[in-house]
Amino acid sequence: MIRVGIVGGSGYTGGELTRLLLQHPGVRVTQVTSGRHAGKPVSSRHPNLRKVCQLDFVSAARLEPADVLFLCLPHGQAIEQIDRFAALAPRLIDLSADFRLEDPAGYPRWYGREHSRPDLLGRFVYGIPERHREAMRSATWVSSAGCNATATILALAPLYDAGLVEPQATVVEAKVGSSEGGAEFSEATHHPERAGCVRSYQPTGHRHVGEMIQELSNGQPISIHFSATAVEMVRGVLVTCHAFLRDDLDEREIWRTYRAAYGTEPFIRLVKARDGIHRLPEPKLVTGTNYCDIGFDRDPHSRRLVVVAAIDNLMKGAAGQAVQAFNLMHGFDETTGLGFPGLHPI
């Protein structure tokens, strides 16, 4: 059994990791830390785990050695304590944004400050298994991808990798649920204000764009014109990507490109139904799952291709993706512990 510690387990991502790893057949969760809730049952913060999880939170100071640590700390904290964590466990999976960009120059650009440990950036494998599977198998440190970045990269990679689209013209509109902001409450998350809202909360300048460019550029200058809008849902991201084809490809050719890229992927479902109401991906249909559903529509009047991708931001966009990486790192079948197919209706 792999001994796993979850550092920063009182938030939503930590809760999901705890849930997944408790039911993973090759894992023993040894500790779940929380500064504020140390001593209380884990299930007091994650009531779905009543009767499922008997652990109490421990303070981070009491963190013990383990085979792997999952770091679910607020952005900026993993970087501070990374040496300590590295001393406690041979493998680290960081779910924060601290080590996602390989190029130190990206941090001032997208995060507004220098990176204090640029020496370590090259040691992390970027956490999307569909893009870095082989590197993960031998990786010791993995930096999990941002949720919006995951959906956008998976939606667009086949097009960018094959050089099919104008590299600087893509517009991406993400519709995101309220759990993306985490468990900390504020006026913006106060139910009367947030319920039923369609709020353009980050029309420009989203930090995840740095990751998108890193993964999609293939050495060429590209632009991803990204906007994020908060909508009424708790979990989920839907990205609508408007890409412009270089050549007048028809639907079958595009379809072939996606099949070539993802045909054998266990967690990517290519969705394109001719009829019915579920013709394209929808985030509510992947709630609780590790799937990324991808579909597209070809504008007959222009070179525009609309690619749509849906994920659960806490699963494929965070905890699920991290467990998928964990499986690869430790030689488990990649789908172990990630078999929940989702609910319908929901």
Q: Which of residues 31 and 313 has its CB atom nearest to a copy of itself in the complex?
A: 313
Pairing of β 304-311 and β 237-244: antiparallel
- Find the shortest distance in angstroms from Cβ 183 to a copy of itself: 7
* Residue 237: CB minimum distance to a copy of itself, A: 9
260 vs 346, beta carbon nearer a copy of itself: 346
Return the bridge partners of 264, or none. Answer: none
Q: Residue 109 is encoded by which pair of tokens?
A: 């650009």
Strand 27-32 relative to strand 124-126, pairing? unpaired
- CA-nearest of 175, 202, 173, 187 to 110 is 202
> Which is the catalytic residue, given 53, 72, 147, 292?
147
Closer to a copy of itself by Cβ: residue 61 or 339: 339
106, 100, 138, 105: which is closest to 122 by C-alpha? 100
Least Å distance, CB 137 to a copy of itself, is 23
Smallest distance from the beta carbon of 99 to a copy of itself, in angstroms? 23
**Residue of 89, 78, 63, 157 whose CA lies nearest to 121:** 78
State the DSSP string of 4-45. Answer: EEEES-SSHHHHHHHHHHHT-TTEEEEEEB-TTTTTSBHHHH
- Least distance from a copy of itself to the Cβ atom of residue 192, Å: 4
Q: Return the number of the residue (116 or 229) whose C-beta is nearest a copy of itself.
A: 229
CA angle 5, 65, 83 (to 5 degrees): 95
Closer to a copy of itself by Cβ: residue 77 or 240: 240
CA 199/CA 1 separation, integer angstroms: 45
241 is catalytic: no
Residues carrying an active site annotation: 147
